[in-house]
Structure 1
Amino acid sequence: MSNAAAADHDFPRPPETFTDHDGRTVTIEAYDGDIDPLVEMYADFGTDSRSQGVPPRTEADIRDWLPNLVEDGLNVVVWHEDQAVGHSVLVPYQDTSELAIFVHPDYQHAGIGSQLIRVLLGYGQENGLDRVWLSVSNTNHVARALYESVGFETIAKERVEMEMQRAL
């Protein structure tokens, strides 16, 4: 799908409840201002669940890092029962917004990331954003396929990472 065609696509908005591929009912909601559930989720990420230095490793560093995301960006959180299991954000960056997405390791490969990114893009549309940008490791084939599935196109490719964007 080209960016021109993708820009006409209307993505779902939060809240969005669905059943993931593992049979769990999860809800994606706009961020409510409480960082504690996100800190708890990020603190549980292992070394292999971190990319490009995020999320930070220690709880103190997570508490320092999160306010920049939640105060400046448009945030959505995935909930399974009373536990945050995913978080995605669009952070203003120059004349666009940078996308970041995180899904708790125990909830990956269940379709949550795919729906999370769609709801975040819908939230961005609803809030007047017209373009989204991201950076991803060249070796992160799962993330690259996810981004391509929702209309992101590669705009630059370096040795280690690539930049992608799409119009909303």
Structure 2
Amino acid sequence: MPPNTTQTADAPTGSIGTEHPPQSDDRFPVPPVEFRDDEDRRVSIHSVGASDFDALAAMYDDFGPESRAQRIPPADERRRHDWLETLLAEGWDVAAYHEGRPVGHATLVPIEESAAELAIFVAPGYQLAGIGSRLLRTLLGYGRAHGVERVWLTVDRTNRVALNLYRSVGFEAVGGGAEREMEIEL
């Protein structure tokens, strides 16, 4: 699967991969999306790409140990930058913005022809305000618009907030030990 290749007029940067913006639906919209979170903050979600690296890197620089899941984002700055660079080059990425800076990032990384692995992060101070849910749904719409048919993820069995989020969107458990494997067909 090719990574994102073109840019929408409404997105600050990034790309979509088609000549015309893909169609949206209520369950899994495509970016751009605007809403007010549960704290009444105006939030927008846009597709992002390599040109958004610095802003996303700054967001991840503020993540402490409590904000990391399965050792990502990496704690070491060099490794974290390499990780983010790879995501932005190989996958489909969306970010949530508040007051011009990213407060959440979600990515789909291709794992086979029409399947991708998901990762999602919301900055401390913006968690549990409905941003993760909107970010996840928008990412799934964005991926589906680019030919992704199945999305897979792993999550720690003790991460109840994430498990509930994934279930609410339609992910189902497909296996796992200490980490639960989940997937959704789009």
Q: TM-score, normalised by structure 2?
A: 0.83
Measure the CA separation in 2 of the matches of 1:26 and 1:32: 19
Structure 2 match to 1:58 = 76
Is 1:16 paired with 2:16? no
Can you give the 5+ residue segments of structure 1 that lack an aligned partner in the other structure? 1-7
Match of 1:150 in 2: 169
Quote how far apart the aligned CAs of 1:9 are.
Answer: 7.7
- 8 Å CA contact 1:39, 1:59 repeated in 2: no
1:117 lines up with 2:136 in the alignment: yes
Shift of 1:15: 0.3
* C-alpha contact (below 8 Å) 1:43/1:58 kept by paired residues: no
CA distance in 2 between counterparts of 1:156 and 1:10 reads: 25
* 2:63 matches 1:27: no
- Paired position in structure 2 for 1:4: none
1:18 and 1:163 map into 2 onto residues whose CA distance is 30
Alpha-carbon distance in structure 1 between the residues aligned to 2:64 and 2:97: 20
Q: 2: CA distance between counterparts of 1:135 and 1:157?
A: 8
Instruction: Look up the equivalent residue of 1:26 and give its one-letter code.
Output: V
- 1:92 and 2:110 aligned: yes
**1:127-159 residue CA offsets vs partner (Å, 9 max, x unmatched):** 11110000000000100000000100000031x
The corresponding residue for 1:38 is 56
Partners of 1:35 and 1:70 lie apart in 2 by 8
Which amino acid in the other structure matches residue 20 of structure 1?
D
Percent identity among equivalent residues? 50
Q: Does 1:75 align with 2:129?
A: no
Q: Secondary structure at the match of 1:71?
A: helix
Q: Aligned to 2:129, what secondary structure does the other structure show?
A: coil
CA distance in 1, matches of 2:162, 2:26: 20
Q: Which has the higher contact order (CA 8 A, sep 6+)?
A: 1
CA-based RMSD of the aligned residues comes to 1.4
SS at match of 2:125: helix
* C-alpha displacement of 1:80: 0.5
Query: CA offset at residue 10 of structure 1?
Result: 4.7
Distance 1:153 1:9, change over 3 A: farther
- Give TM-score scaled by structure 1 length: 0.91
